[in-house]
Amino acid sequence: MPEGPEIRRAADRLAAAVAGAPLVHVWFAFPALKYFEAALPGQCIASIEPRGKALLTRFDHGWTLYSHNQLYGVWKVVAAGERPDTRRSLRVALETADRAILLYSASDVSMWRSDAIESHPFLRSLGPDVLDPTLDAATVAARLGSQPFQGRALGGLLLDQGFLAGMGNYLRSEVLFAAGLHPSRRPRDLDAAALMRLADALLAIPRLSYATRGIEPARGMRDDYLTDSPEGFRFRVFDRQDQPCPTCGGAITRIEAGARRLYLCPRCQH
């Protein structure tokens, strides 16, 4: 499943294609949404905002489309009137005079009054978004030390969208490596310096991935996060089992944590 940086880049791409232009054609596969096929043409998409791993498509007449891709959903940007040759099932089509955005294969789609969207059960369950520019490390550190989260192992906690929205599996491995922490550690066992180091990494690494396109490395690529290429982001431990740690040279190890693969350096993370 895409993680916060990828979802935010997708939202940017969708908004760049259709935001601000009047809709001329709207189609929904879901019977409960058929009413909006007639109500939305002539309206404009005001914004497309990621919230954790969901997207909120806000229309300028006070309604918002909630969608969650889950495992198989995907948005495509195409020319107006175009429908790609695919075996996927089209769920939503939002089309301006020039461009269209199409949602395939997703099933979690609904329309909400914009002033009521925050009552959506998924949104109510989310923690702060790691890519929210107003979120700072002090707030994250306080959240780590709070009663609901301080006793949980970091390997599981960092995948909990109720802790921080937008985190995911590759980010979890990279954050823990950057902070020098083993996934079995718990926030309540960390000293103030380690807690702040983790809080800093929880913000810095997702933001770097978003800002520098989050491109996965080819074998043999440089190991630092930020290279001199436009892409920038490189994995230091994720998907690098048995390769040398960029810090100490020891072998990167793969383990299972929270039923997901996690990569770490046993020497550097303790």
110, 31 contact by CB (below 8 A):
no
Residues 194 and 251 in one domain: yes
In the prediction, which pLDDT does 255 show?
A: 96
Distance in angstroms (rounded) separating the CA atoms of residues 63 and 52: 20
Residues 226 and 189 in one domain: yes
| Number of domain units in the chain | 2
Provide the pLDDT for residue 224. Answer: 40
Looking at the fold, whether 115 and 146 belong to one and the same domain comes out as no
CB 75 within 8 A of CB 144: no
Q: Which of 83, 101, 124 is the last residue of a domain?
A: 124
Distance of CA 201 to the CA centre of its chain: 16
- pLDDT by residue (tens digit) across 127-150? 999 999 999 999 999 999 999 999
When pLDDT is averaged across residues 252-268 and rounded to a whole number, the result is 94
Domain that holds residue 238: 137-264
What's the number of CA atoms in the CB half-sphere (13 Å) around residue 123?
18
Same domain for 91 and 144, yes or no, is: no
Q: What's the CA gap between 2 and 214, in Å, rounded?
A: 11
Give the model's pLDDT for residue 216: 46
Same domain, yes or no: 108 and 57: yes
User: Is residue 114 located within the same domain as residue 179?
Assistant: no
Q: Which of 67, 95, 124 is the endpoint of a domain?
A: 124
Active site residues: 2-3, 53, 260
Structure confidence at residue 156 as a pLDDT band (50, 70, 90): very high
The pLDDT tens digits for 174-231 are 999 999 999 999 999 999 999 999 999 999 999 999 988 645 443 333 334 433 334 4
Residue 177 belongs to a domain with what CATH number?
1.10.8.50
- The pLDDT of 64-76, averaged and rounded, is 91
What are the tokens at 267?
A: 């020497």
Please report, for the domain that includes residue 103, its CATH number: 3.20.190.10
Mean pLDDT, residues 8-32: 96
Q: Is residue 219 a part of any domain in this protein?
A: yes
* 114 lies in the same domain as 166: no
In a domain, 259, yes or no: yes
pLDDT at 60 over 50: yes
